[in-house]
Structure 1
Amino acid sequence: MADTHSNAGAIWALGVTQIIGYGTLYYSFSILAPVIAIDLSVAVEWVYGCISLALLAGGLISPWAGGLADRHGAGQVMSLGSIGAAIALAVCALAGDMFMFLAGMILVELASAFVLYSTAFAFLAQTTGSRAQRSITYLTLIAGFASTIFWPLTSWMLGSLEWHQVYFVFAILNLVVCLPLHLWLSRFARIAAARPVEAVATQPPMSVDNRNFVFILIVLGFSLAGFVSAATLFHMVPMLGLLGLGAAGIWVASLLGPAQVASRLINMAFGKDVSASVLAVVSAVSMPLALGTLALSAPSTFGAAAFAIIFGLGSGLFSIVSGTLPLAIFGKDGFGKRLGWIGLGRLGLSALAPFALSVALGAIGPKPSLWILAVAGLLCVVVFAEVWRRCRPLGQKVLAVNEPTSPVLRQG
């Protein structure tokens, strides 16, 4: 019982840091970008070009960050990441030209590799044992409120503060809230490491010969999903404005967070026996479905709300699957580094998304741009459908997720 309570405390602490992390390092950018472009006297496409370069830098460092989490513990890595996030946001706040802002954004994405989901999932795999997959679901349930909180909060702050000051506030949040929580989580991890080792093991649900190719498919699938997600989320509020939603766009976009949470609640209640590969297919289908709904219904507020809800439902499942799918297939060993390689592929392709969609919105308009994203979403469906097909022969029934396979289980 004590372990259960301490695990719950760790998940809640991680949830708070993920809300602040995603809110300050990721979601706030789409609100701040137009103001930054005006203040720095550059086209908004150049501001999105900065985030594209920064995402690429974050992707390149992800495998290294994951390896550090495996070797030294994810809690310590996140503690250092909190300091890095505060410094990065302070650099953004001090930026007086595009070059310094670009430097700040690169630092933001480098810090993100140490504090966001990949490292948080590695922490749960290291500390919650056979409950890791369930713990990941609980964490994503809490963190799903990041966009709901930080899109309106950032807009409200811009009403009385300059964007420089907003970034200073965000830096302080990472330093005075996230850092102490991550330091406490580091201590929690040391206590968890002293617990008795569970006498259970994981059996990968597919033949060893296929695992490398399946991992390549998984990286490709998450890369395509990351491209569509980054393009949509970074441009959601301004894109809804271009489609005629006006001021209602930000409140429509805020439906994304509750939808993410709802999908995770549904998964918790009814998805216990649903394999991670099936959830990956379902979440992938939601992307072209949502984007097609928006393209066909705009400028209907009802259609835009349906888009935000459907996209949010899929995004919520993707957050779970990004941790549970590789964990279910490959187990705990090297989990952090494996997530890092997935992050490299995802962020590498995502790096193109904000700038590419910004250019597309100006060149061909919002509706054709939405259809292009929908096609990328369909490709993602095809990839995860193949992962699911290759996982089917032995199923996805995982005995446990935290210890190396015993000789008895290998033979049986």
Structure 2
Amino acid sequence: MTANPGLVERPTAARPGTRRLVGALAVTQTVGYGVLYYAFSVILGPMSRDLGISNATAAGALTVAVLVAGLLSIPVGRWLDARGGHALMTTGSVLGSMAVLGWSQVHSAAQLYAVFVLIGVASAMVLYEPAFAVVVAVTDPARRGKALLGITLVAGFASSIFIPLTGQLVARVEWRPTLAVLAVLLAMVTVPLHGLALRRTAPVLDRAERHRRGSPGWVLRDPAFWLLAVTFVLHGAALAVIAVHLVLYLVSLGHPAALAASLAGLLGLLSVTGRVVTTLSTRWLPMATIAGVIFVGQGVAMVLLPVVGRQVPGAIACLVLFGLGFGVASIATPAILLDRYGAAGYGTIAGTLAAPVLVAKASAPLGGALLVAAVGYRPLVLCVAGACALAGVLLLLLKWRPTARAASPR
């Protein structure tokens, strides 16, 4: 695949240094994901008891946040293409900090859901999609792969840092003061870094370029885009189901709860390894091919888990194979989009793809819970296996799609 030749970027002067930009975004993504997403799993239990609501009702708030982020991904992408990420991500950091502080003061389910609407808005403004769009806009094409990998490698440890940190804080000061501390931390780290490091990252465009970047219509006429959308919807839904249900499934296989949680923790650590392996492999193979093979491997791992997962070595082997692909989509998506469509209008294109993927991630765990209630965990795991395998096959087919079928913008 080759980048679409219809749009050509113009160089801009006085851009921020790549290392400084990548370093700043690596830190803000780690803290942003840690506070806005991963801390929730620790807060969930004590918060539900304090508010007098069920865990399921409370968990629905996070689903709302992810849905809101998905719905906003397209307008956020348009903003990034037109104006860059400086004002957007700095404002989002302020909003996210205020929302987390507001979260610490909720006293009802309605208030909780209202706060998580704001957290969803902030997430759309500050997490991976806008960060990647900024990097794509201002980084030399030869350095983009390393820049994106650097950000995701560091941010891949967000769960490993913030889940234990939040747990320690809750154990010492309860959940409300914990959220207040996390809100202050989010503000102190992300607001100044976004405010300083993202200056001069706005694209320099004439009116015609601005119009073309803001219109994804030509991309929507490319059949390969819809192939990508189906691929990442399937894979994103499968990962979301596993992230929520894996511990309970391992317990159902006979593993103690503490061991099941430890085994599930392998996924976060292995996701970093998988990103490194994937990026290094692009020296020899296209990203779509590499990701396709990894996704198929994840499908194989999930097929084998019900068979060999009752024994600890078998469970570890399956989770290692599955975990290597746990974070691959985050670097495969921008690489494949850049390979096929180029960097011009990246924010809008990536936002258009992210919208259905985020909706799938938000709704799949609930669908999984309903399936488990109806027929048990084994069919759910086999559905995850099928989704991963099909996603991998579709990506392997993608490299045979002629790029000439991608309509050029007018």
1:164 equivalent among 162, 176, 193: 176
Q: 1:229 maps to what in 2? A: 239
1:44 equivalent among 47, 52, 55: 55
Does structure 2 conserve the Cα–Cα contact (< 8 Å) formed by 1:30 and 1:233? no
Q: Cα offset for 1:236? A: 4.2
Q: 2:98 maps to what in 1? A: 87
Residues 1:55 and 2:78 are matched in the alignment: no
Q: 2:272 maps to what in 1? A: 261
Secondary structure class of the residue paired with 1:95 = coil
- Runs of 5+ in structure 1 lacking a partner? 195-207, 395-409
RMSD: 2.8
What amino acid is aligned across from residue 88 of structure 2 in structure 1? V
Q: Cα offset for 1:176? A: 0.5
Classify 1:55/1:393 alpha carbon distance in 2 versus 1 (closer, same or farther; 3 Å): same
Classify 1:344/1:389 alpha carbon distance in 2 versus 1 (closer, same or farther; 3 Å): same
Residues 1:319 and 2:341 are matched in the alignment: no
Q: 2:212 maps to what in 1? A: none
Q: 2:159 maps to what in 1? A: 147
1:212 equivalent among 188, 210, 222: 222
Identify the range of structure 1 (68-77 vs 363-372) with the bigger mean alpha-carbon deviation: 363-372
Any residues of structure 2 matched to 1:302-313 within 5 Å, and which?
Answer: 302-313=313-324
1:189 equivalent among 201, 224, 236: 201
Q: 2:211 maps to what in 1? A: none
What amino acid is aligned across from residue 307 of structure 2 in structure 1? L
Identify the range of structure 1 (362-371 vs 372-381) with the bigger mean alpha-carbon deviation: 362-371
Any residues of structure 2 matched to 1:56-135 within 5 Å, and which?
Answer: 56-130=67-141, 131-135=143-147
Q: 2:397 maps to what in 1? A: 386
Q: Cα offset for 1:257? A: 2.7
Q: Distance in 2 between matches of 1:162 and 1:148?
A: 20
Secondary structure class of the residue paired with 1:96 = coil
Does structure 2 conserve the Cα–Cα contact (< 8 Å) formed by 1:287 and 1:377? yes
Q: Cα offset for 1:313? A: 1.2
Classify 1:387/1:98 alpha carbon distance in 2 versus 1 (closer, same or farther; 3 Å): same
Does structure 2 conserve the Cα–Cα contact (< 8 Å) formed by 1:281 and 1:388? no
Does structure 2 conserve the Cα–Cα contact (< 8 Å) formed by 1:151 and 1:254? no
Does structure 2 conserve the Cα–Cα contact (< 8 Å) formed by 1:263 and 1:317? yes
Q: Cα offset for 1:44? A: 2.4
Does structure 2 conserve the Cα–Cα contact (< 8 Å) formed by 1:89 and 1:168? yes
Q: Distance in 2 between matches of 1:17 and 1:136?
A: 14
Residues 1:137 and 2:146 are matched in the alignment: no
Q: Cα offset for 1:237? A: 4.4
What amino acid is aligned across from residue 348 of structure 1 in structure 2? V
Q: For residues 115-157 of structure 1, what are the alpha-carbon distances to aligned partners after superposition, in whole Å with 9 as ceiling and x for unaligned? A: 1111111011111121223321222222211222223333333
Q: Distance in 2 between matches of 1:384 and 1:104?
A: 37
Q: Cα offset for 1:102? A: 1.3
Any residues of structure 2 matched to 1:348-387 within 5 Å, and which?
Answer: 348-387=359-398
Q: Cα offset for 1:238? A: 5.0
Identity of aligned residues (%): 30
Q: Cα offset for 1:5? A: 9.9
Does structure 1 conserve the Cα–Cα contact (< 8 Å) formed by 2:68 and 2:117? yes
Residues 1:180 and 2:192 are matched in the alignment: yes
Does structure 1 conserve the Cα–Cα contact (< 8 Å) formed by 2:15 and 2:201? no
Classify 1:320/1:38 alpha carbon distance in 2 versus 1 (closer, same or farther; 3 Å): same
Q: For residues 261-286 of structure 1, what are the alpha-carbon distances to aligned partners after superposition, in whole Å with 9 as ceiling and x for unaligned? A: 21222234343232121123123224
Q: Cα offset for 1:66? A: 0.9
Residues 1:347 and 2:358 are matched in the alignment: yes
Q: Cα offset for 1:38? A: 3.1
Q: Cα offset for 1:336? A: 0.4
Identify the range of structure 1 (27-36 vs 385-394) with the bigger mean alpha-carbon deviation: 385-394
Identify the range of structure 1 (148-157 vs 51-60) with the bigger mean alpha-carbon deviation: 148-157
Q: Cα offset for 1:240? A: 4.2
Classify 1:270/1:56 alpha carbon distance in 2 versus 1 (closer, same or farther; 3 Å): closer
Classify 1:364/1:162 alpha carbon distance in 2 versus 1 (closer, same or farther; 3 Å): farther
Does structure 2 conserve the Cα–Cα contact (< 8 Å) formed by 1:52 and 1:352? yes
Does structure 2 conserve the Cα–Cα contact (< 8 Å) formed by 1:58 and 1:110? yes
Q: Cα offset for 1:324? A: 0.9
Q: For residues 303-331 of structure 1, what are the alpha-carbon distances to aligned partners after superposition, in whole Å with 9 as ceiling and x for unaligned? A: 44334432331122211112111111101
Residues 1:297 and 2:289 are matched in the alignment: no
Does structure 1 conserve the Cα–Cα contact (< 8 Å) formed by 2:68 and 2:121? yes
2:284 equivalent among 273, 279, 282: 273
Identify the range of structure 1 (29-38 vs 252-261) with the bigger mean alpha-carbon deviation: 29-38
What amino acid is aligned across from residue 50 of structure 2 in structure 1? D
- Runs of 5+ in structure 2 lacking a partner? 1-13, 205-217
Secondary structure class of the residue paired with 1:272 = coil
Q: Distance in 2 between matches of 1:292 and 1:40?
A: 40
Q: Cα offset for 1:343? A: 1.2
